[in-house]
Amino acid sequence: MQYNSLLGIMIGAALLFSCGGSPEQQVVEEEDVEENEWVSLFDGATFQGWSKYGGGSVGAAWKIQDGAIYLDATNKDGWQTGDGGDIVTDQEFDNFHFQVEWKIAKDGNSGIMFFVHESPEYAYPWMTGPEMQVLDNDGHPDAKIRTHRAGDLYDLIESSEEVVRPVGEWNLAEIIAKDGLLQLHLNGVKVVETTMWTEEWDELVAKSKFKDMPGFGKYQKGKIALQDHGDEVWFRNIRIKNL
């Protein structure tokens, strides 16, 4: 290798680290996301790349705490329409592998939604986007319902086994969607697998609480949403790669 080429590589590497490290540690624009390349959806310090569902800046109840997105649920008044509300990515995704770590407060409830279609005709992201449930299984009453426990494809498919960690501990959630095949993983275990946009999928939705929502589970590209269910919840190490 010629000296000039080696020097150029060394200078390029120095510039990269001076700008904040590897690409995986920075929020990037959609056109920069390449296939099989992990990119961060949260830079640990700002809400760059996120907005309130329906438009506008992220609500004041959402805060950044110790490198995590934190929902401060002390103000319960108008928690969905006031200073909280569900938040969504600015970008849309179709075939992807999504990862996030989450932890929930005692008796807490939240969720991670995907293939969310943001439009005035849909008041909430759960009217279009399926949800991977985030829950305190030991304390929240929803845990008494099959398909409403942590890791479940909410109100559609229950987890094959329970691997959620106790309140206050971090859990690793993964959502993998590829040409209709959907897998949910929790703490390294595949807990749900199904195929979307088939007759079987339509039958599954028809037996759920979403049966009267014409847009639910129909969109094959959409945003990722983090749910404000009025309870304290934390999310960190949020990243995605296109498949």
pLDDT of 173 reads 98
Bridge partners for 110 per DSSP? 134
pLDDT of 83 reads 84
CATH, residue 181? 2.60.120.560
Q: Does 10 map to a domain?
A: no
Average pLDDT, the chain: 88
Q: Does 136 map to a domain?
A: yes
Counted domains in the chain: 1
pLDDT digits (tens, 9 = 90+) for 127-170: 999 999 999 999 999 999 999 999 999 999 999 999 999 999 99
Q: Does 220 map to a domain?
A: yes
Cβ 99 vs Cβ 240: under 8 Å: yes
Burial (CB count within 10 angstroms: exposed 0-12, middle 13-18, buried 19+), residue 225:
buried
pLDDT digits (tens, 9 = 90+) for 85-94: 999 999 999 9
Residue 41 has pLDDT above 90, yes or no: yes
Give the pLDDT band (50/70/90) at residue 82. Answer: low
Structural domain boundaries enclosing 49: 41-242
Report the distance separating Cα 226 and Cα 207, nearest Å: 25
pLDDT of 74 reads 84
Cβ 111 vs Cβ 171: under 8 Å: no
Give the pLDDT band (50/70/90) at residue 76. Answer: low
Give the pLDDT band (50/70/90) at residue 22. Answer: very low
pLDDT digits (tens, 9 = 90+) for 104-126: 999 999 999 999 999 999 999 99
Q: Does 71 map to a domain?
A: yes
The amino acid at residue 228 is D
Residue 65 has pLDDT above 90, yes or no: yes
pLDDT digits (tens, 9 = 90+) for 163-183: 999 999 999 999 999 999 999
pLDDT of 170 reads 98
Give percent of the chain with pLDDT exceeding 70.
83
* Of 27 and 215, more confident: 215
Give the pLDDT band (50/70/90) at residue 4. Answer: very low
Q: Does 20 map to a domain?
A: no
Q: Does 35 map to a domain?
A: no
**In residues, how long is the chain?**
243
Give the pLDDT band (50/70/90) at residue 36. Answer: confident
Least confident of 76-80, 104-108, 216-220, 224-228: 76-80
Pair of tokens at residue 56: 């506008």
Q: Which of 98, 92, 58, 30 lies closest to 223 in space, CA to CA?
A: 92
Q: Does 127 map to a domain?
A: yes
Q: Which residues contact 142 (CB under 8 A, 6 or more apart)?
A: 109, 133, 135, 148, 149
